[in-house]
Amino acid sequence: MNYISTRGAGAGERHTFSDILLGGLAKDGGLYLPSEYPQVSAAELARWRGLSYAELAFEVLSKFCDDIPAEDLRALTHKTYRAEVYANVRPDPQHGHTAAERAAQITPLHSLGVENGAPLSLLELSNGPTLAFKDMAMQLLGNLFEYTLAKTGQHLNILGATSGDTGSAAEYAMRGKAGVRVFMLSPRGKMSAFQTAQMYSLQDANIFNVAVEGVFDDAQDIVKAVSNDHAFKARHAIGTVNSINWARVVAQVVYYFRGYFAAIEGQPVGSVPEGASAEQRAAVAATTPLADWPKVSFTVPSGNFGNVCAGHIARMMGLPIHRLVVATNENDVLDEFFRTGVYRVRKAAETYHTTSPSMDISKASNFERFVFDLLGREPARVRQLFHDVETQGGFDLAKSGDFARVAQFGFVSGRSTHEGRVETIRDVYRRYQTMIDTHTADGLAVAREYLEPGVPMVVLETAQPIKFGETIREALEREADRPAAFEGLEALPQRFDVLPADAGSVKAYVASHTGA
């Protein structure tokens, strides 16, 4: 597998998965993608349906990181995706599954019901250590980093930015890891109290929290500026865990396969004779063209486009995804694009502070990966468009006619508001006895706009409700469910430093704490 930059620099060079693992941006400021997407066959899908999550992760990741010995990669996926790591499961009173059964599934599918003829479900992705979907990729990334650094004898200083969940997921995945320090930037005063406490209460010597005087996009711009200072990056061994890191994106591809299999569980594929055995059903599925497999749609709450970008990649690999529904909050830069073809980033003053703060993002870093595919993988055009983003604040693909091809990739979108979130939380709790967080509420509200009879709709659940307790109290007039491990979290001592939204200040801070 060879990786290339969306902006074309280094054409002809060979980059393996391990080559790009510890970095983020390519040297030309672009993002890495495979030179071509690996394809899955009907036979592979038929075989993968019954695999454990760890084994499924091994199979999917094997297609992207063929430079890691198979036995090592399998050991890494089995170390990462264990029931005890994803044990923060909530009750499922409707379906009677035990906590142990649900934890063993890693990402259990929580069926809500049938609405407008469409089966509607939540794919639970937040049962990990920090109660957010970011754990699904970050736990793997921590183990991959430790494995690679041990092999090479290197060390790594991770510089990241978070709007709420990436930071805690990264810090919990990297705390205590040999050869790794984490410098995490977050917008001061813009995260929920629970999110803030999760990060700032960590006292590990290799964790450094920096509260930036600004919004998330300011922090993200600083990370990109430091990544583009190649001399500083090399001198201080700077790596990244933000969703621009390819390993994070590819780890997220796995749960689209898992969610698809769960959504069609028990459903025959192809012309299966009545009374056929499980082996016969699998044999028929293995020879049924992927175009004839059942279709499933996914709705993804998304601000930085990393989570839904993984769905795009799964679809490009051949997974029979019908629609990818992008759900935003009031910071609707992505919804505006998928409705009009105009990508218009907002300035800090135009970025709203909302009750789904992890999506308070107005410059979607991973969006460039999709644009690269949309434009037929023409790096010169991508390079010009994202130069326009920096100099003119955006671009318009409707004028060039390129926007007309978006439908071929299955994308649609919608937005929600605070009032819509609150009403959705109330409705789902009343109707299905299920408590959801604010971001998942954005997803469900938008998903309901795109339900189609007979097509399962899977909403990616992104966080547990306790992370946004204030809005849960407003919606339900009760406290959010809190896993026992997090009792008293907000009362713990907090350790962080405050810096201006300035790349020079952050560089000086990193340099003073690395001794380089």
What pLDDT, on the 0 to 100 scale, is given for residue 227? 85
**DSSP character at residue 452:** B
From the list 223, 158, 213, the residue with the least C-alpha distance to 187 is 213
The pLDDT of residue 241: 83
> 458: Cβ–Cβ under 8 A, 6 or more apart, which residues?
109, 121, 122, 123, 259, 260, 262, 263, 296, 297, 298, 299
Q: Using an 8 Å Cβ cutoff, are 366 and 304 in contact?
A: yes
List, in order, residues 6 or more apart from 188 with CB less than 8 Å away. 211, 212, 213, 214, 498
| C-alpha–C-alpha distance, residues 127 and 125, integer Å | 6
Helix or strand run (H / E) with residue 331: none
Query: pLDDT by residue (tens digit) across 209-255?
Result: 999 999 988 998 999 899 889 899 989 999 888 778 899 999 999 99
What pLDDT is stored for residue 445 in this prediction? 98
| 90, 439, 475 from 355: Cα distances, Å | 22, 8, 12
Amino acid code (one letter) for 209: N
SS (H, E, C) 58-76: HHHHHCCCCCCCHHHHHHH
83 token code pair: 């029931």
| DSSP 8-state secondary structure symbol assigned to residue 463 | B
Taking the model in full, what pTM does it have? Answer: 0.93
Task: Note the maximum CA span of the chain.
Answer: 70
Q: Do 354 and 329 contact (CB within 8 A), yes or no?
A: yes
Interatomic CA distance for residues 44 and 62, integer angstroms: 13
Contacts of 512 (CB under 8 A, 6+ apart): none
Nearest to 422 by CA among 456, 494, 473, 487: 473
Strand segments (E) across 79-200: 109-115, 118-124, 156-161, 180-187
The active-site residue, picked from 27, 63, 79, 134, is: 134
Helix (H, G, I), strand (E, B) or coil at 137: helix
Q: Is 134 a catalytic residue?
A: yes
Residues 216 and 163 sit within 8 Å (Cβ to Cβ): yes
Give residue 106's pLDDT.
97
Output the pLDDT for position 269.
94
Task: Give the model's pLDDT for residue 484.
Answer: 85
Q: How many CA atoms lie within 13 A of 155 on its CB side?
A: 12
Helix axis angle for 418-432 and 438-447, nearest 10°, is: 80
Separation between Cα atoms, residue 181 and residue 145, nearest integer Å:
11
- Judge residue 277's burial from the number of C-beta atoms within 10 Å of its C-beta, 0-12 exposed, 13-18 middle, 19 or more buried: exposed
Q: Average pLDDT across each block of 10 residues of the chain; the chain has 516 residues. List them in order.
A: 90 87 84 96 96 98 96 98 93 76 94 97 96 95 91 90 87 90 94 92 95 92 90 90 88 98 94 88 95 97 94 98 98 97 92 91 93 97 96 96 96 98 98 96 98 98 94 96 90 96 95 82
Closest CA to 120 of 463, 418, 454: 454
Give me the pLDDT at residue 152, please.
Answer: 85
At residue 349, the pLDDT reads 87
Structure tokens at 299: 């709705």
Sign of CA dihedral 251, 486, 110, 56: positive
Question: Three-state DSSP class for 57?
Answer: helix
487 burial (CB, 10 Å; 0-12 / 13-18 / 19+) is: exposed
Sign of torsion over alpha carbons 300, 301, 302, 306: negative
Phi, psi angles (nearest 5°) of residue 327 = -110, 125
